[in-house]
Amino acid sequence: MTPNASSPPSRRGLIVLSWLWVAVPLGYGLYELVRKATQLFTG
């Protein structure tokens, strides 16, 4: 069964929350990686 636009709102909210649970720490980690890498290579 594939998710579609007719899925219940509670299910959609759970999917959004799950993606945020992964995306927020990942985004922060990538931000810190880039920030520290620029410090490393620029002095």
The confidence score (pLDDT) of residue 18 equals 95
Alpha helices in the chain (DSSP H): 9-42
Q: Tell me: the pLDDT tens digits for 1-43? A: 566 666 666 799 999 999 999 999 999 999 999 999 999 999 7
pLDDT score, position 10: 77
pTM (two decimals): 0.64
* Euclidean distance between CA atoms 3 and 5, whole angstroms: 7
pLDDT number for residue 8: 66
> What token pair was written down for 32?
């810190």
Q: How many CB atoms lie within 10 A of CB 7?
A: 13
